[in-house]
Each structure stands twice: as C-alpha cells, then as structure tokens.
Chain A
Amino acid sequence: MEPLLEVKNITKRFGGLTAVDDVNMKIFPGEVVGILGDNGAGKSTLIKVISGVYHAEEGQIFFEGRQIKISNPIEALKIGIETIYQDLALAENMNVYSNIFLGREKLEKFLGFIDVLDHDYMLVESKKVLNRLDINIPSLKNKIRTLSGGERQAVAISRSIYWNAKLLVMDEPTAALGVAEQKKVLNLVRTLSSHGVSVIIISHQMHDVFSVATRLLIMRRGKKVAERITKKTNVDEVVGLIVGSLPGDYIEVSKEKR
C-alpha cells in the first residue's frame, strides 16, 4: 500500500540547535501514529514542518506519492493536512454549524439575485457529519463558547473531516480535558481511523497514545530513535527509549552517516 504521507531525512535547525535531525517516517491511510518523546525531543517541531508552520532545511515530503512543498499552513490545509490546534481555531462567538462552514459558507439566492447564507443547509450538513463521527452535541445552534473543551475539539475535527482532511495532526488533544471527555476524544480518533483518515497524535499521556495508536515513533534530542508496533511493545520499553536508558535502533546508523 502506498503511504499517505512520507517524510524523508527531515532536518530542521534553529541557529546552532538541531531540533529535528534526519527523521524519516511514513503514515498509511487510516493509520494512527503516536509520536512520543520528552520535552524538547523535537516532536512539535516535526509536526510543524508537516503542517507548514516551519520549513525544513533538508529532506523531502511526499503526500499520496507526490513530492510536495508546504510553505504555509493554509497550503497544508488545501492538500488535506489539518492540524487541530490547542486554541482550536474556532470563533467562540459563533455557533457550531457556522464554524464548520466558516470561510466556505453555503449561499442561497434571496429575491433571485442576492447571495445570502443558507442556514438550513449548513445546519443539516453539519448534523450529518457529526452523526457520521458519533459526536453528540445538544444543539448546533449553540455558540462554541457554551461548549466544553472536548465538544470544541470534536467540532474542530468535524470541520476538517467535512472539508476532506486526509491527515489530522493532533498535538496534546487530551490535555486540559476531563476524564470522560478524554475518552470521547480517543473514541473519535478511532472513528476517524475507521473512516480512513490518518492521524498523527502527540501526547504526554502514554496511556492515551497506547490505546489509539497502532504504531509508535519515539524521538530523543531531535532524532528518531525507534519505531514500534504498539502491540509488540510495552510502556516500560517505550519509556526506556524516551529517556535514553535503552539505546534505540537508529542512533549508530545516523552517526556513521555524518
């Protein structure tokens, strides 16, 4: 099977600091990949390269087999790579369906020649996408401000799914959520995967990552030190890889290369 996203030899430096050092990774359609690592290991920098926030000095990115150049987040969105940010990029003063359709509003003709918002259509369509993802929000006419953190996240995700995102990048999606809400978000990630959407998930909550990701990527000091199938590893091994008490698989190789 062809990978949805493949990054090859990505290196990103900030002055003298090499934040991401020669990292390779592949994500297949519908796959959930967890990126694990300590603070400063380069996880966030790596996904920011993928989502177009940073531009890598070296390396290539392939999406659906074609080499692409992502120079800003808007371009990433157009390609189908959507990052779910902490601030979620929702307008809190507007209701659920207006946010889902923000920037791509459905219009209808008023008096035959004036374009006005088609609220009914947007409401119905939004309901459909929420149902498809098993998301339960009391009323789509409620403003985002009145929703809980998990519900907001669900809205942001539905929005990207409605507009055909193929790869979702989630940075600490369960941080700042209650336990019940965390479960809902993780369930949502599973639902996305079953719909063929790929997900990259970064989290400090080892348990969360283990429960949804099929494959794990472990980073340390900017390098990818190991890659594991979730079922064939355990928390102890992964923690060992993160803190460096276990050597990892790639370090020697990349040293030789230099």
Chain B
Amino acid sequence: MINYNKTREIGINILRRWILIFLVGEIVFFGIVGTNYLSLKNLQNILVASTTVLLLATGETFVIITGGIDLSIGFMVGFSSVVSAKVMVDLWAAGFSQPLAITIGILTALSLGLIPGFTNGFLVAKLRVPPFIATFGMYGIAYGFAEIICNNVPIHKLPTSLGSLGHGYLFYWLPGKLLSFLGKPENLSREELKHLVSIIPNVTVIAFIFIGIFAFILAKTKFGQHIYAIGGNINAAERAGVNVKVHLIKVYMISSFFASLAGVMYVLQFITGRAPAGSARLLDAVVAVVIGGASLSGGKGTIMGTVIGALIIGVLEIGLVNLSIPTYNLHIAVGCILIFAVLVDQFSPEIIHKEEEIR
C-alpha cells in the first residue's frame, strides 16, 4: 500500500528543491554523454565561466527582492572593466609598480561603480522613476561612458602579473610530492608540470567570498530582513519605521557594486577591458535569479537559489561546448528553463511555502 502522507511529503520536498535536483540532473547527464565532463578541470571551468553571471545575479537578487529590477548591470560590467584596465595601463606606464597599479585600478573601478547604483537608487526611491526606466537609462549611459573612456577600442597592454592572479588557483598539488598555497610552485620539470593539479580558481574564490558575505547579510541581518519587507509590502515597511528610501538606494548600490566586481573579474580573466564586456550576461543574470526562486513582483528569493540558478546556466553552457553543439542553442535552452521555472512556481501548491523559516 502506498503511504499517502509519505508520498506527499516527498513530493513537496522535490518541488521545494527542484532546481537543485535539476542542476544535479544536468551534471549527471553531461557526465554520461560528454567527454571528461566530470573532470576536476572541467568542473572548475564551469565555475570560472559562470563568474560574471554569478556576480551579476547576486546583486540583482537584492534588487529583485525589493520588487525592482536593475538593467544597468549589463553595461556596468564593461564600464568597470574599462575603468580598471585604463587606470592600470596608465599607472603602470607612469612608472607605478604592477601590484600598486593593479590595486588602484581595481579600487577605482569598484568605487566609481557605486555612483550609477546610487543614481539608480535615488531615481527610483526619491524621484519615483520606475526601476525599469531608471536603470535602462543608466544602461545606455554606462555603455556610452565606457566607450568614451576606452576610445572605442579594447584596452590592452595591461600589467603582465594580472594573468597569474586571474588565471591562478588557490592550491597547487603535485600528487605525493607537494601542496602549495597561492602561487604556482617554481622549478618544476615539464613532466611534473603535466601532473600538477590546480585546485579552486582565484576568481571563483574572490567571487564566492563576496557572494557569501552578501548571502549572510540578506539571510541573517536586519538589513536583509527589511529588504524582504519592502518587497512584500512597502507601506508596511514604512509604517514599521524602515527608512525605505535609504534602503532602496543601498540595494541599488549593492547591485552596481557586484556588476563592477564582475567587470574587475573580467579584466583579471581576459586581461583586457572592453565596453561591451558582459552585456550579453544581463539576461542570464535575471534568469538565474528567477530560476533561483525569486519573483519579479518582489518579496522572495535567496542567494543560494540564485547561485544554483547561475550554475544551471553555466553547467549547460559548458555542456554544450563539450558536446560541440553551437552555443546559440544555449539561449533557447535558457529561455525554456526560465519559462519552466516560472510555471513551476505558478502551479506549485501553496503548501510548499508553508512553514518556511522566514521566507
């Protein structure tokens, strides 16, 4: 006899975690049909390839939970990549040491990147411009400024040590011989280099440090709690004494900070700064957030869900490359997953939302 309650409980748990199950299913599928898909190297490639989407989607999650949207982040990546690259090139040429030039370049990009976020937030919160319009305007403005700064050509000739940072790994392991932390071990023979195992890409480490910090802020702090309140009932939040306007400005600044960080990561990975860098990732980022369980009407979503959503896209992308399927098929697949995610959310019974800790 089938135990009805047991079956029901299992069903509810599957519905709650369907994106995780979907992600695992994807990996298993490509693991079977692909070549070397489950190798450490390939799995790490997925993480590296997902960096931009992971970062953009994390910032976007904050905005979407408030019931808004940030479209400017697409070109914010390019803007930030151009700014940081330009500063690095100029300072290095002016005789600064490489580490100093790189550090100043990164910090400049990250701080300038807060300005569009502040502007977006100000327009949305204080002047009541619809988020779609405000950030869409900023989308164009960021792109225009990026092109002006780089004079319409990609910025090259960046400090040479960028590569070891952007392409480096946290650990290097020579099985049975040595394990080194940060920085490739030196004086290895060609034979040894072939067996050297690189573990955890630097860009992934940096990305996940920030994602982790902000996931904590969203889930555990008063600041995060109020973001959910604003998305759920902005009047209730205001009546409860939440300074909604300031809160919204901060949220848009978080989003543009993550976009700027994605731009800096782009420079580290590709050793160049380009105005259109990452602009194609805007859609993927929004999709990742929605797959992750957020609703565009606001009030729900988690960073964990968003990260899984971003990985679903990354796993698929590398999977298609692995199977030599042209990547434009990715867009079709991503579109289908997006619609599927929304349908699941729409038709899943209310019961799966009951008894959740906070959201």
Contacts and interface: CB of A to CB of B under 8 A. Distances in A.
Query: Are both chains from one complex?
Result: yes
Interface of A: 73-74, 77, 87-95, 98-99, 102-105, 107, 110, 114-117, 119, 139, 141-143, 145-146
A89 B239 contact: yes
A117 B225 contact: yes
Interface string B324-359: 000000000000000000000000001001111111
B239 A94 contact: no
Contacts of A141: 355-357
A102 B231 CA distance: 13
B232 A93 contact: yes
A146 B352 CA distance: 11
B242 interface: yes
Interface in B187-240: 220-222, 225-226, 228-229, 231-233, 235-237, 239-240
Given A74-B241, A89-B236, A110 B359 contact: no
- Which residue, of A90, A102, A110, A145, has the highest number of chain B Cβ atoms within 10 A? A102
A89 B235 contact: yes
Contact of A77 (B225, B239, B242): B239
Contact of A73 (B222, B236, B239): B239
Given A74-B241, A94-B229, A110-B220, A142 B236 contact: no
A117 B240 CA distance: 16
Contact of A143 (B237, B239, B356): B356
14 contacts: A91-B228, A91-B233, A93-B231, A93-B300, A94-B225, A94-B229, A98-B358, A99-B236, A103-B240, A105-B222, A117-B220, A139-B355, A145-B350, A146-B353
Given A91-B229, A94-B228, A103-B242, 13 more contacts: A91-B228, A91-B299, A92-B232, A93-B228, A93-B231, A95-B356, A98-B225, A102-B237, A102-B242, A103-B239, A107-B222, A139-B355, A143-B353
A105 B350 contact: no
Contacts of B231: 93
Contacts of A74: 239, 241
B228 A143 contact: no
Contacts of B353: 143, 145-146
Contacts of A114: 221
A134 B229 CA distance: 27
Contacts of B357: 95, 119, 141
B216 to A, nearest CB: 8
- Which residue, of B236, B241, B355, B359, has the highest number of chain A Cβ atoms within 10 A? B236
B348 to A, nearest CB: 14
B49 to A, nearest CB: 33
A95 B237 contact: no
A88 to B, nearest CB: 8
A46 to B, nearest CB: 21
A121 B41 CA distance: 46
Contacts of A94: 225, 228-229, 232, 358-359
A222 to B, nearest CB: 28
Nearest to B239: A89
B354 A102 contact: no
A114 B221 CA distance: 9
Contacts of B300: 93
Contacts of A73: 239
Nearest to B351: A146
Nearest to B222: A105
Q: Which 5 A-B pairs have the closest CB atoms?
A: A103-B240, A91-B232, A93-B299, A93-B232, A103-B241
Contacts of B356: 95, 141, 143
Contacts of B220: 110, 116-117
A98 B228 CA distance: 10
Contact of B229 (A102, A115, A116, A143): A102
Contact of B359 (A89, A93, A115): A93
B298 to A, nearest CB: 8
A82 to B, nearest CB: 10
A91 B300 CA distance: 11
Interface string B260-281: 0000000000000000000000
- Which residue, of B232, B235, B242, has the highest number of chain A Cβ atoms within 10 A? B232
Given A91-B299, A145-B353, A105 B225 contact: yes
Nearest to A144: B232
A104 B232 contact: no
Contacts of A105: 222, 225
A116 B219 CA distance: 9
Contacts of B235: 87, 89
B222 A89 contact: no
Nearest to B359: A93
B237 A116 contact: no
